[in-house]
Structure 1
Amino acid sequence: MTDFSARRTMMVDTQVRPSDVTKFPIIDAMLSVQREDFVPSQKREAAYMGENLGLGDGRVLLEPRTLAKMLDALDIGQDELVLDIGAAYGYSAAVIAHMAVAVVALEEDADMARDAEEGLMSAGIDNVIVQAGPLSEGAAEHGPYDVILVQGGVSEVPDQIIGQLKDGGRIACLFMDGALGEVRIGYKLDGRMNWRRSFNAAAPVLAGFEKQVAFEF
C-alpha cells in the first residue's frame, strides 16, 4: 500500500519549500489536496514526481514546483475569483480553491472535465465550477476574473482571455520559446498589460495558444 501522505509531505519539503515558496496558504493547500486523486488511475504512482506529468495529447499536469511558484507570484486573496485554464483532472483548481473565494476550472476534454467534477466532489471542494469548453476562449459568462492561470505553455495569449481579466487583475502564463520557457505575470492596468518575468519552467504549448501567423499578400 503506497503511503501517499508521506509522498505529499516529501513533495512539499523537497520540491516546493526549496523553491522559496513559504506562504502558508500554498503550503497548506499542497499538503491537503490528494494529488494522486486528480491524475489518471494508471499514473497514481507517479503523481508526486518532480516533473511535468504527461496526460496524453500534448497535455501535462504541471510539476508541483511550477504551480507553487505561480501561486506564490500571484498571491491570491480569499475574496478573489480565479479562472484556471486547462484544469485537466482538477488538481490545480483544488489547490487554488483553498485560497480563493471561487474557481472556474476550464477544461476542453469532456472526459477530463467529468473526472475533475467527480474528483472535486469526492474531495468535498464546493467552491469550484468545472466548465467544459475550448481553452483559448476562456469562460466569459463567469468573469471578469481577479486572477487567471494557464496550466500549460503559451506562445501568445488570446485577446479573448485578456478581455476576461479585471482591471487591476493578474495572469500567470508560461511563455515557451522552443524548448525554453519562462513564467511571466501579467498585470492589467487601464486596459493595458504589463508583463514581468518570474522564473524559468517548461511545458508543451496548449492548442489555441500558439503564435498566430499573419498572412501577407
Structure 2
Amino acid sequence: MTEQNFRAMRRAMVESQLRTNDVNDPEIIEAILAEPRENYLPPERRDAAYIDRAVPLIAGRALNPPLATARLIAAAAPRAGERVLLIGSATGYAAALLARLGCDVVAVEEEASLAAHAKAQLADWAGITLVTGPLAQGAKKDGPYDILFVDGAVEELGDTLIDQLKVDGRAVFARADRGVTRLCVGTRTAGGFGARAFVDSEAVPLPGFAKPKSFTF
C-alpha cells in the first residue's frame, strides 16, 4: 500500500464516514486529512486504518473507530490554546489531531507498549505531554484542563477525572450501558457535572471504568 493509496483512503473516509455524520468543521476535517492514521497501527493492520470499525492493537485494546473520535472532537469544540486531558491515548492518534487543532495535550495511557508507540510516533510534536499511568487517575498535576477527552467507552466517569476539569470545562466520552455505547458531552459547573448523550456509536471499551457491582441476596 503506497502513501498515495492511504491519502485516497483518508479522503474517502472523510467524505463517506465523517461528512455524512455531522463532522463538517473545516479545521477538524483539515486535521484529519493531514494526519496519517495508518502510522498509529501495527504494520500488519495498516490496511484497515480507514474502515468504520475499531482496529485491534494489543492487550485487548483497539484504536477507536475514526467516526467516534471525530464526533467526540466535534462535540468538544476545541479551541487553539486550550488544555486537554486525553484519556486512552493508545498509540497517539487522537493526541495528534488535538495538537493539530492548536491544543496543549496531556495524553494518558496505561498500557506500556501502546505508550511507547505513541512516544515514538509523537516525538517531534510540541504541545503533547505523554503520561504513563492508570487511565482512571488522569494527570492531576498537569491540570486543571479546559477539556476532558476520553477516546473510548466507560461505564462510569468518576469524580477523579471530572475534578481535573476547570469550572465550565467540557468533557466528551462514550458511555457503555448494557451493550450499547453512546457518545456524550458534558460541562462541569460550580454546582457539579452533567452530561447528555448525542448519538449511539461504536466505541472501544477502556479499562478501569467499570461500575461497582451492586450487592444482591
The question of a shared fold, defined as TM-score above 0.5 by the shorter chain, is answered with yes
Runs of 4+ in 1 over 2 A off after TM superposition: 202-205, 213-217
Aligned runs of 1:28-177 on 2, under 5 Å?
Answer: 28-121=30-123, 124-177=124-177
Specify every segment of 5 or more residues in structure 2 that has no aligned partner in the other structure, as ranges. none
Mapped partners of 1:52, 1:98: distance in 2: 22
TM-score (norm 1): 0.93
Percent identity between the aligned chains?
Answer: 37
| CA apart distance, 1:191 | 4.2
Residues 59-96 of structure 1 show CA distances to partners (whole Å, capped at 9, x for unaligned) of 22111111111111110011210011010000010011
Kindly provide the CA deviation profile for residues 47-68 of structure 1, in whole angstroms up to 9, marking residues without a partner as x.
1111111223332211111111
Unaligned runs of 5+ in 1: none
| 8 A contact 2:65–2:202 mirrored in 1 | no
Query: Matches of 1:96 and 1:136 in 2, distance apart?
Result: 20
Comparing 197-206 and 155-164, the one that deviates more: 197-206
Q: Tell me the amino acid that sits aligned with residue 62 of structure 1.
A: N
Number of aligned residue pairs: give it: 215
> Relative to structure 1, is the Cα distance of residues 41 and 191 closer, same or farther in structure 2, using a 3 angstrom cutoff?
farther
- State which drifts further: 192-201 or 204-213: 204-213
Q: Once the 2 structures are TM-superposed, how far is the Cα of residue 205 of structure 1 from its aligned partner?
A: 2.8
Contact 1:179-1:202 within 8 A present in 2 as well:
no
Q: Does 1:20 align with 2:36?
A: no
**Whole-angstrom distance in 2 between the partners of 1:41 and 1:131:** 24
Report the Cα offset of residue 213 of structure 1.
2.5
SS at match of 2:53: coil
